[in-house]
Every structure is written in structure tokens, then in C-alpha cells.
Amino acid sequence: CVDGRGKRCVGATGYFGVSPVFFSPDGHLLAWCGYKGIFLFDLRSGRRRLISKSTSCSYAIVFSPDSRRVAFLSTATTEKAMLPPLGFVIVTDVNGRNRRTIFTTKSPLLGLAWDNRDRIHLLSMGRLMTLTSTGRRLSDIAVAGDTTLIAGWSAGGEVAVVDSEGAAVVYR
């Protein structure tokens, strides 16, 4: 589509309105979750492609430091909902091939980051984990229990966790 100012629309609507859009580190790709799954838009070529048909869309999509792979959170891997709901961390290349589920849990997944040392950081209820991009667990730290509200990661791998009382802890 083209809006009234001549800007090109790439599409970023989710089930409940507009989905967050995530930039690749090299600035050439955009990723978002639409009603059909995870999309990438190449800003150089103008091409949009579906890289995952996950219908339980992700609220966290992260790129590898080299912008060649994508990791995202999902609660289902197929078109059919799974009961009980499971959380998954899925890694795929930016072409949608070589897709791997590297982590599965029955706990809600709250956050995801990929640092510049090729480690994936995952926040689950009461747990902060660091994984390799193939899923090998490097660390597993208990944090703030069920009161954890937000976590943020730096490119170097430092993690800040803030609980519902406003207390912040930084892990290195």
C-alpha cells in the first residue's frame, strides 16, 4: 500500500493492533509478527517474506549479531493450539530455513535477547537463562520469583531485572 505521503507500507498488524517491529543489527531487515506468522522485510530489495507460520505470534523477535538468524518466542509450533500451553524459543535463518526449537518450557516466557557473543538470554517466570544459539544451557539463575516485570539486556550480555517493587538487579 502507499499512504497519502507516498510512503510505502510493509504491513505490521497483529491480532490486537500493531505489532512491534524489530530491526536487524545491520539495519537492512525488519521483523514483525502478523496474523499469518513472523515476517521479514528487506529494506534494500523491498521484499517481504514469511519465515514462520506460528499463529501464536511472538512479542519478542531478536536477530543474531550478524543479522543472519532470528530467534523468537512462541506458544505453539503449528497451526493448532497446544494444551497445556508451552513456551518455545525458536531459531531460524532469515530465509526461514534451518528452523530449530532450542528451548521448551511450561512457564510463561517474558523476554528474549541475543548478545554480541552469540548467546541467547531468556527470561521465564523466576528464571534467567543463557543459551547457545543451538540450545545448550550456559547458565540458569533464579530471579525475583513471580514478581519479575521486566528485563533488559546489553549487547555485551549484562542483564537488568526489575521486579514489581521497583528493585533492580544487574547480572553480568
Q: Which residues contact 6 (CB under 8 A, 6 or more apart)?
A: none
User: Is the full-model pTM beyond 0.95?
Assistant: no
Instruction: For residues 26-53, give the mean pLDDT.
Output: 88
Reported confidence tier of residue 78, pLDDT bands at 50, 70, 90: very low
**Which residue would you say has higher pLDDT here, 57 or 51?**
51
Q: Which stretch of 78-82, 119-123, 124-128 has the lowest confidence by average pLDDT?
A: 78-82
At residue 42, what is the residue type? D
**Is the pLDDT score of 151 beyond 90?**
no
**Is the pLDDT score of 57 beyond 70?**
no
Reported confidence tier of residue 1, pLDDT bands at 50, 70, 90: very low
How many angstroms separate the CA atoms of 147 and 126, rounded? 8
Instruction: Report pLDDT for 117.
Output: 84
DSSP 34: E
Instruction: Report pLDDT for 154.
Output: 65
